[in-house]
Amino acid sequence: MTGMDFMESVSRPRVAAIVICLMLTGCGEQDRLVERNIRFMGEHVVVSVPADNEAALEWAGQAIRQFSGRLYPLIDIYSPESEISRANQIAYRVRFPISRETQRLLESAQRLSTDLEGLFDVSDATLRHLWHRHFQENPEELLAAPLVHVSRRGIGPHFYDIQEHSLLYLASETQLDLNDFARPYVIDQAVRQLRNLAVTGVKFHAGRFGRVLGSRSEIRSWSHLITHPGDGKRILGEIMLPDGAAFTLFGWPDDFAQVGDQQVARIIHPRTGWPAEGKEAVFVMGPTAANTYALANAVFVQGREESESLLVQHRDHQVMFVQRSDPTTIWITPNLAPLFVPADDYKDRIQLIMLPEPQPPEEEEEEEEEEEETVNEESDESDGEVSEEWSVGDWMTLEHIVHRLTAATQNGTCSVEKREYAISNGLPNLWRPYYPAACSCNSGRVTYCKAASLVAFRMTGAA
């Protein structure tokens, strides 16, 4: 199901019938569920089907076991024999062979990390595990700043390079952990297989995320209860889940640790190295479990006020923010409003998140003129200067990207020109195309770039 197909299914007029069914004392035998708890990649997934559709339970369980049983031994970071564990030991500057399954998972994670500007990342294993141990062993205080700074090295989608069945780390500090991301990814694989087999009427729920296939009955869709992030006994409302919908939640009690006299998020901001501020819990719904998981992670660490650009870029997803402290405010994107049935006590606590309309693309001639002006301005400024900053028109190798560029800024974006270029940091004869991606700029100079495969690029203009 594409993002547009998913959006169209959201707007169907079946919501009224769903709400009517919820208001009744029951919807008959077809509303009774049969559930099965299945061991799933080190954790559990609950598979639910209507009582009159138990055959779907067997198909769903078989699909989950098939995909997780094949992928988990390859990527489990806690198994020293897994491909990712061995890559974490030897893949720096030496290409490590990986299976097709691992490669596809890595490519999906890298694409999402690039798309979300590093706010979701699977290369922060050292940092996350450091915080996890600290929360267990020393819950009275936060980590020391120098230790956090050192642990942030090597984090980013540009620090690992994926080629045909091989993986290369471009920084000695890079460590991958795919365990959490692999779970929603496997749910998507299972749903795809079930859809090909014409199996329907299934809900998967594994902790913070889930996905549905088909509807719960002829007149009722699947749904998910939203509880208060500070008090699980308080029901905020119910969200209807259209066919194919996936959802992820961040910011509920299990995502926080008690440190001294305050609660601190266990979710670490990959850009800062520190726990996310976590003022609001986040619910994200979209067409795939992997995408909603990554986006929910990104907007949670970024926070509601700083997430507008992410929400604009991902309009095919529905988002809810819930203020964790009282008085509770619920912010939702307009495309989620028709699917949210709030509890009576919270009907007046809802605010819509009004996003700006996407800007139409400028005419090509105007873009070329602006680009030429920018290049001229940069040339005038940089005459006679020797600087670590790189001007528009300069080619930068992988070594420059990894070692010289600073953290991302939000002052603008730059276009990037594609080119095949040899890696210059001691790895000869490795040629890879660079895929155009957005870069952040500061006064016309690049300070950060995101891409699926960073090898070499040239700034061609500043927005």
Query: What sign has the CA pseudo-torsion 240, 245, 250, 252?
Result: positive
- pLDDT, average across residues 130-138: 81
Distance of alpha carbon 340 from alpha carbon 242, whole angstroms: 12
pLDDT score recorded for residue 416: 40
pLDDT score recorded for residue 451: 37
Q: Supply the pTM of this predicted model.
A: 0.73
Q: What is the DSSP string of 385-420?
A: ---SSB-TT-EEEHHHHHHH------S-EEEEE--E
pLDDT band at 373 (very low <50, low <70, confident <90, very high): low
Q: What is the pLDDT of residues 320-345, one digit of tens each?
A: 999 988 889 999 999 999 999 999 99
Distance of alpha carbon 98 from alpha carbon 102, whole angstroms: 6
Query: Contact at 8 Å (CB) between 118 and 156?
Result: yes
pLDDT score recorded for residue 343: 95
pLDDT band at 318 (very low <50, low <70, confident <90, very high): very high
Q: What is the pLDDT of residues 167-222, one digit of tens each?
A: 999 998 899 999 999 999 999 999 999 999 999 999 999 999 999 999 988 778 89
Spatial neighbors of 295 by CB under 8 A, at least 6 apart, are 116, 120, 248, 284, 286, 310, 314, 317, 319
- pLDDT, average across residues 92-105: 95
Q: What is the DSSP string of 122-183?
A: SSBHHHHHHHHHHHHH-TTSPPPHHHHHHHTTT-SGGGEEEETTEEEESSTT-B---HHHHH
Distance linking the first and last C-alpha atoms of the chain: 33
Query: What token pair was written down for 17?
Result: 């019938």
Q: What percentage of the chain reaches a pLDDT higher than 90?
A: 52
Average pLDDT of the chain is 77
- pLDDT, average across residues 356-382: 54
DSSP three-state, residue 230: coil
pLDDT score recorded for residue 408: 32
